[in-house]
């Protein structure tokens, strides 16, 4: 079993810098009313980016291996949060947006399914506690 480590260092109030084994710093912050500087992403928002980045890298890599001729790729995330504390995401929807000519729908669907069911560790961790759905769009090359 491999291990990972991370730490956050308080800058001031609820403003923190986080670092992991890769050695890259990520700033996180909160709103001024809670002691933050309102200068960086919120920790929960970072979770949404982690999900989109993980599954997005899988899908992009798989599409490239399939030699799909995409010219642009994005993953949009829409999430619903509970009203009461602890406020958690109750539903997350991912929209995979691909631009290009001649992209095969079946290959895009397969790439998304492989990411969701096999490769994306963030999806695997989150799907036990939050409903994650997805859709896709194939758009003409720009």
Q: Given pLDDT bands bounded at 50, 70 and 90, which one contains residue 136?
A: very high
Closest by CA position to 135, among listed 111, 109, 115: 109
Q: How confident is the model at residue 142, as a pLDDT?
A: 86
Mean per-residue pLDDT, 79-93: 97
Contact indicator for 68, 104 with CB cutoff of 8 Å: yes
**What percentage of the chain exceeds 70 in pLDDT?**
100
Q: How confident is the model at residue 5, as a pLDDT?
A: 96
Q: How far apart are CA 124 and CA 135, in angstroms?
A: 18
Q: What are the pLDDT digits (tens) for 23-78?
A: 999 999 999 999 999 999 999 999 999 999 999 999 999 999 999 999 999 999 99
């Amino acid at each position: 079993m491999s291990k990972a480590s991370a730490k956050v260092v308080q800058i001031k109030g609820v403003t923190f810098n986080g670092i992991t084994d890769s050695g890259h710093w990520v700033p996180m912050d909160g709103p001024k009313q809670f002691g933050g500087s309102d200068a960086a992403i919120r920790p929960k928002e970072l979770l949404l980016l982690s999900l989109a980045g993980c599954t997005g890298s899988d899908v992009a890599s798989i599409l490239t291996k399939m030699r799909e001729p995409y010219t642009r790729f994005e993953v949009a995330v829409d999430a619903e949060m509970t009203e009461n504390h602890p406020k958690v995401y109750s539903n997350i929807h991912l929209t995979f947006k691909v631009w290009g000519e001649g992209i095969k729908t079946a290959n895009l669907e397969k790439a998304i399914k492989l990411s969701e069911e096999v490769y994306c560790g963030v999806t695997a961790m989150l799907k036990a506690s939050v409903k994650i759905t997805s859709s896709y769009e194939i758009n003409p090359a720009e």
